Amino acid sequence: MYFKDIIGQQDIKRRLIESAQKKVVPHAQLFCEQGGAGAYPLALAYGRYLNCSHPSDTDACGECPSCIKFDALAHPDLHFVFPIISRKEKKKEVCDDYLPEWRDFLKGRPYFSLDNWLEVMDAGNSQATIYAKESEEIIRKLNLKIYEAAYRILLVWLPEKMHPSCANKLLKIIEEPPTNTIILMVSEEPDMVLGTILSRAQRVNVRGISREEMTEALVNREMLEPEQAKEVAHLSEGSYLKALELINVNEENAYYLERFKDMMRNSWARNVKGMKVLADTLAGIGRERQKSFLSYCQHLIRENFMYRFQTNDLNYMNRQEADFAVKFSPFVNERNVFDLMDELAKAERHIAQNVNAKMVFFDLSLRITVFIRR
């Protein structure tokens, strides 16, 4: 993780770099964010910068021995603490037991949430915690001699998940860490962090990513069209994670729209072969998606019916859907709108009741054949 990998946050980057250059580095810092703004990658890039042998004015060099060990997330003076699911039977009781998974996780993505990590750990309904046992590990590590680094870095993700007895044991070391040891904590719920820890750490507030910087990142990193990027940036509220979620939802929508078009065209053309192919396709996407597809179809039928009245404030369609409505809306009218809606709702119920999906979708297409020509 380098500063250049993090979207926006120029002010904080500048402040962190200055503190490193002036060698005025607070020994305990708490990076706070709402999630998805880049606090964790910032802290990690900062740790790298502090230890780089040839840093520039904007970033670490990427070539010195320290940077190379940071690339592998395997610097001997870089220690990770994060919430885990303790599994005694699998000998997974402290963070180091999860280190291989954690490194892969971090390398895969600069922006992530606790949910993402829980998925990797296969957490099910268990709560992730930084357990009391971790405090002994931390104290042991921080009392070792520093191997080679200018600064030993302890990077704590989500101190709000720390068991109180762990937090209490760490108070002394947070207040007065061994020489050249820097404790960087990253919190998404600073209000939940123990007050005694809060008061010992310097706070770094990481605000949401600005709309302009988010738009630019979505165009460059996610290959969005500028207009779409702007729309997503507007809805993302400064969180890159939320932006990615929105893109996924959009992709799902686009898929549903195409299948909806297939279905209507097949029915209009009385293309029985096409109906069979579509029923096969939809049978393969899983029950949950089948249900969302059918409720999406009802939404589109309703919108296309309303489209004829040209009341923009009653229309809830994105651009692709609206483009399609120009041609399709004349086919939805007073004579068939209720029957179409009923059939779609019935199909949705049947899917929920585990009726054979292939039959449900084929049957549906056949019935639409009758309604669509009214």
Q: How many CB atoms lie within 10 A of CB 119?
A: 11
Q: Does 150 bind Zn ion (CB under 5 A)?
A: no
Nearest distance, CB of residue 50 and Zn ion, angstroms = 10
Q: How many CB atoms lie within 10 A of CB 203?
A: 13
Could you give the strand order of the β-sheet that contains 28-32, starting from the edge strand earlier in sequence? Answer: 78-81, 152-157, 181-187, 28-32, 202-205
User: What are 308's two structure tokens?
Assistant: 């004829």
Q: How many CB atoms lie within 10 A of CB 146?
A: 15
Beta partners for residue 80, in sequence order: 155
Report whether 242 contacts 236 (CB < 8 A): yes
- Nearer residue to Zn ion within complex by CB, 51 or 267: 51
Nearest distance, CB of residue 1 and Zn ion, angstroms = 13
- Nearer residue to Zn ion within complex by CB, 19 or 51: 51
Report whether 48 contacts 40 (CB < 8 A): no
Q: Does 61 bind Zn ion (CB under 5 A)?
A: yes
Number of residues in contact with Zn ion, rule: CB under 5 A? Answer: 5
Q: Residue 84, Cα to own-chain centre: how many angstroms?
A: 19
Nearest distance, CB of residue 64 and Zn ion, angstroms = 3
Selected binder of Zn ion within 1, 67, 130, 247 (CB under 5 A):
67
> Could you tell me what percentage of the chain is helix, strand and coil, using 3-state DSSP and rounding each to the nearest 5?
60, 10, 30
Selected binder of Zn ion within 1, 42, 60, 351 (CB under 5 A):
60
Q: Convert residues 14-53 into a mask of x (bound to Zn ion by CB under 5 A) and - (unbound).
A: --------------------------------------x-
Q: Does 64 bind Zn ion (CB under 5 A)?
A: yes
Per-residue DSSP letter, 123: -
Quick one: which segment of 59-67, 109-117, 210-218, 350-358 binds Zn ion (CB under 5 A)?
59-67
- Nearer residue to Zn ion within complex by CB, 48 or 200: 48
Quick one: which segment of 38-46, 64-72, 194-202, 281-289 binds Zn ion (CB under 5 A)?
64-72
User: Please, what is the end-to-end C-alpha distance for the chain in angstroms?
Assistant: 60
**What does the binding site for Zn ion look like in residue numbers (CB under 5 A)?**
52, 60-61, 64, 67
